[in-house]
Amino acid sequence: MKVLLIAGDRLGEYDPLTANGVTAGLQFGEVTILAAGPNAQNKAQQAAQIPGVNRVFLATHPALQSLAVENLSLLIHHLTPSFDVIIGLTSTFGSDLIPRAAALANCSPVTGVSAILDRHTVIRPIHAGAVLAAISLAKTPIFLTIRPSAFIAATTSQQGKPTPITAIDQGFESNLSQHIKHSPSTNSRPDPVSARVVVAGGGGMHAGGSFELVEKLADRMGAGVGASRTAVDMGLASNDMQIGQTGRVIAPEIYIGLGISGAIQHLAGIKDARMIVSINNDANAPLHGAADYALTADIFTAVPELLKK
């Protein structure tokens, strides 16, 4: 089968999780990567280093120089007849793009794929991860977004020839959508999706009136900061920090939950973390049950002690 993988975009930069998409794509067949959007040239060069990639397409048309996925989905639509499977990452960018491209081809996308059983069957978690649905892919073209954390990255090759890069958007025209402004949040901490360690705060932080303790511990550990929905709803954390079913799905080496109960919707976003640590004053908190290390303590006492040590 022929696979078109859309290189991931993270706020205009190359998303290294593209290499995880290659691992997924190779399970179907020959992988071509499409590098487009801001910094397409750099994305193409990075993509060309990933082993196992057959071709890299580079699209530098001015209409594609922004995060305007409306224009990019039209380019994908032009390319769709040459491919059997079109794959994007389950990220803000991929989740915006792939359903649009699928709709143009009159297809239904399968989103949030966590495993590929064979070329005709994929797994996607549903009901906040409580059920794994096996989806049969009856006909091509197939449109998927894959959860990058569920696939190991194809390691970037240091030696060997990079994959050839071909410019493909000559003659492409679209003015459907224009990018006006881009206001990234000013956060110097690692992004929780790619951070090795994530410290997350929940409703238990409310008594402190801020997220200061969470941030202090995160900064001490060089960690990303996450939040439960309750913490976001309380105004303690911003929306983009929410982890869980309706937030972001993370898979860090270490996740530390401070004053987080561990509702199923939150667990859906952290179940791939390699080590879960919970600090909660309720010994029966569900997050304690899911944790490798559970400390029953008041966060306002335990975290300052941790910081001292």
Ligand X SMILES: Cc1cc2nc3c(=O)[nH]c(=O)nc-3n(C[C@H](O)[C@H](O)[C@H](O)COP(=O)(O)OP(=O)(O)OC[C@H]3O[C@@H](n4cnc5c(N)ncnc54)[C@H](O)[C@@H]3O)c2cc1C
Which residues contact ligand X by CB under 6 A? 202-204, 207, 228-231, 242-247, 259-261, 263, 265-266, 269, 280-282, 285, 298-300
Q: Which of 53/303 has CB closer to ligand X?
A: 303
Complex with ligand X: residue 175 or 239, whichever CB lies closer: 239
* DSSP H or E stretch at residue 74: helix 69-79
Query: Residue 181 is encoded by which pair of tokens?
Result: 């402004």
Contact between 234 and 206 (Cβ < 8 Å): yes
Q: Smallest distance from the beta carbon of 197 to ligand X, in angstroms?
A: 18
Burial of 252-268, coded b for 16+ CB within 10 Å and e otherwise, reads bebbbbbbbbbbebbbb
- Rank residues 40 and 205 by Cβ distance to ligand X and give the closer one: 205
Q: Least separation, in Å, of the C-beta of 249 and ligand X?
A: 9
Query: Closest approach of Cβ 186 to ligand X, in Å?
Result: 23
Residue 164: cis peptide before it, omega within 30 degrees of 0: no
Nearer residue to ligand X within complex by CB, 14 or 255: 255
Shortest Cβ distance from residue 122 to ligand X (Å)? 23
State how far the Cα of 18 lies from the Cα of 67, in Å rounded to an integer: 17
Q: How far apart are CA 118 and CA 128, in angstroms?
A: 24
Q: Which is nearer to ligand X, 177 or 281 (CB)?
A: 281
Residue whose C-alpha is closest to residue 77's, from 152, 141, 161, 127: 141
Minimum distance, C-beta of residue 170 to ligand X, in the bound complex (Å) = 43
Position 296: which residue type? T
Residue closer to ligand X (CB basis): 161 or 308: 308
Shortest distance, position 113 Cβ to ligand X, whole Å = 19
Using H for helix, E for strand and C for coil, what is the string for 95-130? HHHHHHHHHHCCCCCEEEECEEEECCEEEEEECCCC
SS3 of 27-59: CCCEEEEEECCCCHHHHHHHHCCCCCEEEEEEC
